[in-house]
Amino acid sequence: MTHNAPVTFTGVAIKYGATTVLSDFNLDIKAGEFVTLLGPSGSGKTTALNALAGFVDISAGDISIGNKSVSRLAPEERGIGMVFQSYSLFPHMNVFDNVAFPLKLRKYSRSEIRRRVEEALAKVRLADFALRMPKELSGGQRQRVAFARAVIFEPPVLLMDEPLSALDLKLREAMRLEIKRYHSESGCTIVFVTHDQSEALSLSDRIAVMGGGKILQIDTPKVIYDRPSSKFVADFIGQTNFLTSEFANCVSGPLKQDIDLGALRAGNLSIRPEHLRIGVPASDTDIVFDCEIDEVLFLGESTEFSLKSKTGQMLIAKYPAGTSDRVYRRGDKVHVSFRLNDAVSLSD
């Protein structure tokens, strides 16, 4: 079982010349927690990770691992494992020696190194590849070697910087499962950086959505998805529909009193595509409106409908495969409804 450690950022600021990348950045990560820093390019997520790793000097504040300040320690003194997007394998070393490298640095015995490397390669399904050189491996195999090397010495904290972005879809899904399994079995504290919402939602205990060098919302994946705090978070995590003030003009019957008219007027009322129901009898708590189907996209696991309201607003509805027997086509006139408690009023 891997030892784990809490991680704390306290008032951290990072500046490059006149540019402030992080400002008064505060984050508490519990021991054994999997926290993802999620955001677009330039949001500060990778800078925060590099500061924790020791690759970037902080201008103010403090960073601690295991309740001990590490701000003045070199990267190799912080006791962390790191998986990079670019693999960063040593091209002149075979797979065995790449994975063994952290243990040799820490002066483990030859027999212990062999035991641990064989165990690690077996876990990432590369037991037969020990003598291969990195150039003889596929991208997915190289990433698994990099992962094995990062965890071989059982670090208390594992940092992962967009480790799956260079892989194709099937390899990404396989590695995602590998990372999830490792976290469950080891209890290691993991800080994961990505711009991919599906990775964040499927892997994390908590997600910190970042923008402009700040954390805009931090919570469990379910809360972040179901109850985003702002328009930016709602738009960045998954698909959503922002209902405009004109939407009120296409509602069949009176607009329910429970709806947030202020948010509706500001275009800050959000409804996820899976909460829009087509042709379903409305209950008393539903908002019902008329639309025309503009396009139908079959996506395998789901079907996506592009809808045009009477006022011209475009909306997206999504149904999981096998949940509707009715076939809809472009040009069909339909009633669309949603439950009030599925709509979210957002801040700007």
Single pTM value for the model: 0.87
Residue 268 binned pLDDT confidence (cut-offs 50, 70, 90): confident
How many Å separate Cα 108 from the centre of its chain?
35
Please choose, from the candidates 182, 184, 142, 181, the residue with its C-alpha nearest in 3D space to the C-alpha of residue 163. 142
Distance CA 69, CA 101 (A): 26
pLDDT at residue number 255: 59
Which of the residue ranges 86-90, 140-144, 192-196, 245-249 would you say has the lowest mean pLDDT?
245-249
% of the chain at pLDDT higher than 90: 51
pLDDT at residue number 38: 95
Q: For the residues 242-254, what does the mean pLDDT come to?
A: 69
Tens digit of pLDDT for each residue in 197-239? 999 999 999 999 999 899 999 999 999 999 999 989 998 998 9
pLDDT at residue number 2: 47
pLDDT at residue number 18: 84
- Average pLDDT in the chain: 87
Distance CA 198, CA 216 (A): 18
pLDDT at residue number 343: 85
- 12 burial class (0-12, 13-18, 19+ CB within 10 angstroms)? buried
Q: Is domain 239-345 classified as CATH 3.40.50.12780? A: no
pLDDT at residue number 1: 39
**CATH 3.40.50.300 intervals, the chain:** 7-234
pLDDT at residue number 139: 83
pLDDT at residue number 7: 96
Q: For the residues 279-287, what does the mean pLDDT come to?
A: 67
Residue with the bigger pLDDT between 249 and 66: it is: 66
Distance CA 46, CA 247 (A): 39
Tokens of 333: 């006139």
CATH architecture label of 7-234: 3-Layer(aba) Sandwich (3.40)
If you ran DSSP here, which 8-state letter would residue 244 be given? Answer: -
Tokens of 101: 């490298």
Q: Name beta bridge partners: 13.
A: 60
Which amino acid is present at 187? G
pLDDT at residue number 205: 97
CA 28 to each of CA 57, 60, 67, 96, 208: distance values in angstroms, whole numbers, following the listed order: 19, 17, 11, 36, 11
pLDDT at residue number 263: 64
φ, ψ of residue 101 in degrees (nearest 5) = -50, -50
Tokens of 56: 């970037």
Tokens of 48: 């925060």
Reply yes or no on whether the pLDDT at 274 is more than 80.
Answer: yes
If you ran DSSP here, which 8-state letter would residue 249 be given? Answer: G
% of the chain at pLDDT higher than 70: 91
Tens digit of pLDDT for each residue in 50-63? 999 999 999 999 99
Please choose, from the candidates 84, 86, 87, 54, the residue with its C-alpha nearest in 3D space to the C-alpha of residue 71. 54
φ, ψ of residue 263 in degrees (nearest 5) = -65, -35
Distance CA 73, CA 51 (A): 11
Tens digit of pLDDT for each residue in 300-345? 888 999 999 888 889 999 988 877 677 889 999 998 888 878 888 8
Please choose, from the candidates 160, 157, 147, the residue with its C-alpha nearest in 3D space to the C-alpha of residue 4. 157
Tens digit of pLDDT for each residue in 9-24? 999 999 988 888 998 9
**CATH 2.40.50.140 intervals, the chain:** 239-345
Q: Say whether 294 sits in a helix, a strand or coil.
A: strand
Residue 85 binned pLDDT confidence (cut-offs 50, 70, 90): confident
pLDDT at residue number 312: 86
H-run or E-run covering 132: none
Which amino acid is present at 305? F
Please choose, from the candidates 157, 26, 6, the residue with its C-alpha nearest in 3D space to the C-alpha of residue 68. 6
Residue with the bigger pLDDT between 148 and 165: it is: 148
φ, ψ of residue 121 in degrees (nearest 5) = -70, -35
- Are β-strands 269-271 and 314-320 bridged in parallel, bridged antiparallel, or unpaired? unpaired
Distance CA 106, CA 104 (A): 5
Reply yes or no on whether the pLDDT at 282 is more than 70.
Answer: no
Close Cβ partners of 110 (under 8 Å, ≥ 6 residues apart): none
pLDDT at residue number 238: 86
What would you report as the CA-atom Rg of the chain, rounded to the nearest whole angstrom? 24
pLDDT at residue number 140: 83
Distance CA 193, CA 223 (A): 19
Q: For the residues 250-267, what does the mean pLDDT come to?
A: 63
